[in-house]
Amino acid sequence: MTRRPHFRWRIQGFTPHATERQIDRMWEVVLLGAAVLLFGIHLGDVPLRDWDEGTVAQVAREIWRDPQSWLHPTLHGMPYTNKPPLVHGLIALAYQFGGVTESMARLPGALLTALSVPLVYGIGRELWHRRSISIFAAFVYLTWLPVVRHGRLAMLDGAVLCFWTLLVWCSLRSRRDLRYTLGLGVAFGLICLTKGVLLGGLLGSIVIGFLLWDTPRLLQSAWFWGGLMLGSFPAVGWYAAQFQHYGLAFWNGNLLSQSAERVWSSVENHGGPPWYYLLELLKYGFPGLVFVPEGFRTAWLERNLSWAKLLLVWGSVYFAAISVMGTKLPWYVLPLYPALALLCGVSIDGFWRDSTFWGMPDTSPKPYPKVWLGIFGVLALVGWGASLVLARQYFLKMPTVDANLVLALLTLALTMTLVVFLMLQRDAQMVVVLVWGSYLSMLLFVTSSQWVWEVNEDYAVKPVAAMIREATDAPVLHTSHPYDRPSLNFYADRPVYSTSLQGLRSQWNETSNPCLLLDRLALKALLLSKADALDRAEGWYLLCRHEHPNLDRFVEHLEIDRPKI
């Protein structure tokens, strides 16, 4: 009897379905573990930064103090209708278990961003049979500086990345399993409960546009629209509750001034030219941005395939939408990074050779593009130069430089140098070196004190806030600082409003028990009478009006010439 020939599944590039799923689960666990470590380590070592972090953390604290206010949150006792409270509620839950700290404020967003990494891998597995593309894309996404930084902050954008990648993944799965349309609806609703219906509508239109081009039959299915509406029901319920409670005030505050108005005008002076986000990508997108043009070229050549249709619609529609908006903020570009990472995966895989199990190059591999070689060479030189400069500052005991930041730059410079050497050798292992070196560099960077570099752009708020808490019980303060600082409001646990000199004088003369936070110039200019100077910190003076003033000691310290009477 002739023996049936044994079919060598693995040599042919195929494995049984169960084994494929096990390998995918293994990679998802590895990616999730690496992401949780990178996004979760040392979250509380740096103070909260101004604007979104301070505001989100304060709203969450008020929900934590009064859990019944989760449906109608407040900010310093006033109705907060800027954004839906989903992430704020998650942070309040973290406060319940870990206390009101920076790490607990940042933990929910960091974990949600970490979940988006295996979701990017899952999107790749839905688009390509080759697993290597998905792996490369996930690691590029994991080590991209804007994703890491904003994903670790107490902001809403890490959650948006998670829910957006979930929406795309469910959309791809629903093409062959209509049960995933419910997940599609849930993800859409979560986006609306995180940043509002404007962003939900934009991202939803990208999915609809892709399906209209790739799988139009799905849009004719009652299951699709039923799952979308059923999953979106919680978001619809929340918006209905706000209209019932606030009426037209919610329409004006949330849907107009904080959402639609950002399309045609610059809200709070956050504007920029149409090429604003292109500059943001050029500033913070390297080294991953090196691979995007080749991936885009491949997508255009293969635009009749599903993966190319998705990435072309995703990238072009979203980038065009945020570029024409009147309001421009750096984190608006974040939902574009998963698409760019997938394009990078396509580009890298085109040069990856897996003729052996370990992925060694072929005997005659094609050379890497000279543009890649040049850019990585420049990055290596910049890395070594910056490392030397920061190392010198570190040994001179400069407070803004620590050892981990120097080590991060040294690791990055060494990685770029090795990548250049391996590219000259036409060695595909340069991908492994690039991925591992970028991850290690990013890990060292987030353990430094400079990963939130914005906190060094102004005075340190924690000493000033501690002075306010210890010196006065005044519920509201006014300051001569040119703009409000939500981080100061959070740490002081009360609002501190930026006020002009004339407004400060009026507050002092016309209100009872006023308290002012003044810098030296304002203190010299105002010369307030009947003032009790309570304390000073970081160059800021806390003055309140009491019966027995003692401002003279500060006047003498500042050498102010009092007018003669």
255/124 same-domain check: yes
Q: How confident is the model at residue 396 (pLDDT cuts 50, 70, 90)?
A: confident
Task: Please tell me the predicted confidence (pLDDT) of residue 394.
Answer: 83
Mean pLDDT, residues 468-480 taken together: 90
Q: Where are the alpha helices (DSSP H) in 325-401?
A: 337-351, 370-395
CA–CA separation, 9 and 15 (whole Å): 6
Range of the domain at 236: 17-204+216-266
The pLDDT tens digits of the residues spanning 150-197 come to 999 999 999 999 999 999 999 999 998 899 999 999 999 999 999 988
Task: Please tell me the predicted confidence (pLDDT) of residue 401.
Answer: 81
554/473 same-domain check: yes
Which of 437, 456, 475 is at the close of a domain? 456
Q: Which residue has the tokens 């407004």?
A: 503
Task: Please tell me the predicted confidence (pLDDT) of residue 360.
Answer: 53
CA–CA separation, 59 and 55 (whole Å): 6
| CB crowding 220-254: b at 16 or more within 10 Å, else e | eeeebeebbeebbebbeebbeebeeebeeebeebb
pLDDT of 462 > 90? The answer is yes
Q: Is the residue at 452 inside a domain? A: yes
pLDDT of 253 > 90? The answer is no
Tokens coding 422: 């391996």
Lowest mean pLDDT among 99-113, 226-240, 332-346: 226-240
Q: Is the residue at 445 inside a domain? A: yes
Q: Is the residue at 124 inside a domain? A: yes
Q: How many domains does the chain divide into? A: 3
pLDDT of 1 > 80? The answer is no
Q: Is the residue at 319 inside a domain? A: no
Task: Please tell me the predicted confidence (pLDDT) of residue 544.
Answer: 87
Task: Please tell me the predicted confidence (pLDDT) of residue 558.
Answer: 46
Q: Is the residue at 284 inside a domain? A: no
pLDDT of 357 > 80? The answer is no
The pLDDT tens digits of the residues spanning 3-26 come to 444 444 444 444 556 788 899 999
510/542 same-domain check: yes
Task: Please tell me the predicted confidence (pLDDT) of residue 551.
Answer: 47
Q: Is the residue at 5 inside a domain? A: no
Mean pLDDT, residues 69-84 taken together: 90
253/400 same-domain check: no
pLDDT of 356 > 50? The answer is no
Q: Which of 156, 146, 151 is nearest to 281 (CA)?
A: 146
pLDDT greater at residue 540 or residue 361: 540
Question: Count of CB atoms within 10 A of residue 457's CB?
Answer: 8
Task: Please tell me the predicted confidence (pLDDT) of residue 365.
Answer: 66
Mean pLDDT, residues 393-402 taken together: 80
The pLDDT tens digits of the residues spanning 51-63 come to 889 999 999 999 9
pLDDT of 557 > 50? The answer is no
pLDDT of 547 > 50? The answer is no
CA–CA separation, 54 and 263 (whole Å): 24
The pLDDT tens digits of the residues spanning 81-103 come to 888 999 999 999 999 999 999 99
Q: Which residue has the tokens 């740096």?
A: 46
Torsional sign, CA 448, 449, 452, 454: negative
Task: Please tell me the predicted confidence (pLDDT) of residue 12.
Answer: 45
Which of 440, 456, 472 is at the close of a domain? 456
Q: How confident is the model at residue 509 (pLDDT cuts 50, 70, 90)?
A: confident
Whether residue 160 contacts residue 339, with contact meaning beta carbons closer than 8 Å, is answered with no
Task: Please tell me the predicted confidence (pLDDT) of residue 532.
Answer: 72
Which of 456, 487, 518 is at the close of a domain? 456
Question: Count of CB atoms within 10 A of residue 300's CB?
Answer: 11
442/536 same-domain check: no
Between the ranges 310-324, 398-412, 455-469, 508-522, where is the mean pLDDT highest? 310-324
As a whole number, the mean pLDDT across the chain is 87
Task: Please tell me the predicted confidence (pLDDT) of residue 416.
Answer: 96
SS3 label, residue 544: strand
509/435 same-domain check: no
160/239 same-domain check: yes
425/537 same-domain check: no
The residue type found at 378 is V
DSSP characters for 140-153?
HHHT-HHHHHHHHS
Q: How confident is the model at residue 556 (pLDDT cuts 50, 70, 90)?
A: very low
CA distances for 137 relative to 144, 160, 404, angstroms: 11, 19, 27
63/199 same-domain check: yes
Task: Please tell me the predicted confidence (pLDDT) of residue 538.
Answer: 86
Q: Residues of the chain with pLDDT > 90: what percent?
A: 63
0.75 surpassed by pTM: yes
Task: Please tell me the predicted confidence (pLDDT) of residue 2.
Answer: 45
Whether residue 309 contacts residue 201, with contact meaning beta carbons closer than 8 Å, is answered with no
CA–CA separation, 493 and 471 (whole Å): 13
Q: Is the residue at 310 inside a domain? A: no
378/419 same-domain check: yes
Q: Is the residue at 354 inside a domain? A: no
Helix axes 292-301, 306-324, angle to 10 degrees: 120
Whether residue 192 contacts residue 161, with contact meaning beta carbons closer than 8 Å, is answered with no
Q: What is the dihedral of CA 402, 403, 406, 407, to 10 degrees?
A: -150
538/526 same-domain check: yes
Between the ranges 159-173, 273-287, 417-431, where is the mean pLDDT highest? 159-173
Give CA 157 to chain center in angstroms.
Answer: 5
Question: Count of CB atoms within 10 A of residue 564's CB?
Answer: 4
86/162 same-domain check: yes
